Amino acid sequence: MMQERLIKKIIESRQTSDGAGVKLKRVFGFNEVPLFDPFLLLDFFGSDNPNDYLAGFPWHPHRGIETITYMLDGEVQHEDSLGNSGIIGKSDCQWMTAGSGIIHQEMPKNTNGSMRGFQLWANLPGKDKMMQPRYRDILKNQIPEICYRDKVTIKIISGEVNGVKGPVQDIVTQPEYLDIMIQSHGEFTHKVEKDHTVFAFVYQGKGYFDSKQKEPISEGQCVLYKNGDEVKIHTLDDSVRFLLISGKPIGEPVAWYGPIVMNTERELELAFQEYRNGTFIKHKQQKEKDENDSH
C-alpha cells in the first residue's frame, strides 16, 4: 500500500538581494541546511522593474555544487572564464555542474519588461566535488510538457511522469524537477522515491499539498514533505502553479561560504586561497550539447 507524504514543514520565502543587488525571494538557504539535503538554496527572482534586476550577477566562482537556472520570463546572458557564453531565455533551463571550479557571470540580456525565474543549488558528494565542470543548456522545446488528466499540465526538466522523461539525466543525486500547473478543482498524485527529499514551492495561486491540510499553501510558501511513497496535491476554487523537486540526500558534512560548498573548512579555505592566487580552475571546460541540438 502506498504511503502518502504529509507536510513536515512550511517555510515562508523572504525578501533579500544577491549578486550586485538583484532583488529576489530566498525560499531556503544556509539557515535550512541540512533540512533540504541534497539541495542548498532556492531563489525566486521576479520583477517588472528593471532596477530590481539590472545589476545582475557579475563574475564570481563556484565549486562543489550544481546551479540550475530556470527562466519563466526574460533573458539572462551567461559567460564564463573559459570562453563559453549563451542566453537562457523564456522557459529555458541551464544545469551547470561547477565541480572543481568555474568562474562565471549571469547578466540580464534585456533592460526592460519582466524578468522571472529560479536558481536552485544542488550539493555534490565529496567524491564528485572536484569533477570536471559541465553545462547542459536545455531549450524550451527540449522540455516535455504533458497533460495529466484534464486539469494538470507538467513541464518535466528532470525525472519522469507517466513514462515521459525530462532531458536532464545521469545526475548523481537523481533529481526530479517539475513545473506543475493545476487548474481549479484539479488533483495530482505522483509517486516519489521513499528515501528522497521532496519539496514544493508555490509561485502562483494556492493549493492543498496533502490530503489532511486544512489551509491552502499560497504564493511564496514552500512545503517540505515527510517520508512516504507519493504526494497528493489538489485545488479548490483557485488554480496553483508550483515547482515539485526531489533528490537523493547526500548525508555528508557541509562547509559553505558564499558561492563555494565543500565538506570541510580546510577544503573551503583552500578553494578561496586558490581563487586568490589564480589556481582555482582545474579542468578545461567542455560545453555539453543536448542530443536534440543536432536535429
**Strand 22-28 relative to strand 39-47: parallel, antiparallel, unpaired?**
antiparallel
Q: Which CATH architecture has domain 7-280?
A: Sandwich (2.60)
Name the DSSP letter for residue 5. Answer: P
Cell of 227: 517520508
pLDDT of residue 50: 86
| pLDDT at residue 293, rounded to an integer | 46
Residues 6+ apart with CB under 8 A from 77: 85, 86, 87, 88, 106, 107, 108, 109
Q: What is the C-alpha to C-alpha distance for residues 87 and 92, in angstroms, rounded to an integer?
A: 9
Supply the pLDDT for residue 135.
86
**C-alpha triplet 49, 259, 107: angle, nearest 5°:** 35
Within 13 A of 23's CA, how many CA atoms are on the CB side?
9
Which pLDDT belongs to residue 295?
41
Distance CA 124, CA 131 (A): 10
SS (H, E, C) 11-61: EECEEEEECCCEEEEEEECHHHCCCCCCEEEEEEEEECCHHHCCCCEEEEE
> What does residue 122 show for φ and ψ, rounded to 5 degrees?
-115, 135
Rounded to a whole number of angstroms, the distance between the first and last alpha carbons of the chain is: 43
What DSSP element (H or E) covers 200? strand 197-207
Tell me the mean pLDDT per 10 residues along the chain, length 295. 96 94 95 97 92 92 97 93 86 95 91 88 98 92 94 98 94 95 98 97 98 96 98 98 98 97 98 96 61 42
How far is it, in rounded angstroms, from Cα 148 to Cα 150? Answer: 6
Neighbours of 161 (CB within 10 A): 21
Distance in angstroms (rounded) separating the CA atoms of residues 89 and 177: 18
Name 189's Cβ contacts closer than 8 Å, sequence gap at least 6.
230, 231, 232, 233
* Torsion over CA: 36, 38, 41, 42 (sign): negative
DSSP 159: S
Q: Parallel, antiparallel, or unpaired: how do β-strands 197-207 and 260-262 relate?
A: unpaired
pLDDT of residue 84: 81
pLDDT at 284: 66
pLDDT at 111: 64
* Rg over CA atoms, the chain: 19
Compute the CA torsion angle 13, 16, 22, 27 (nearest 10 deg).
Answer: -20
| pTM of this structure | 0.94
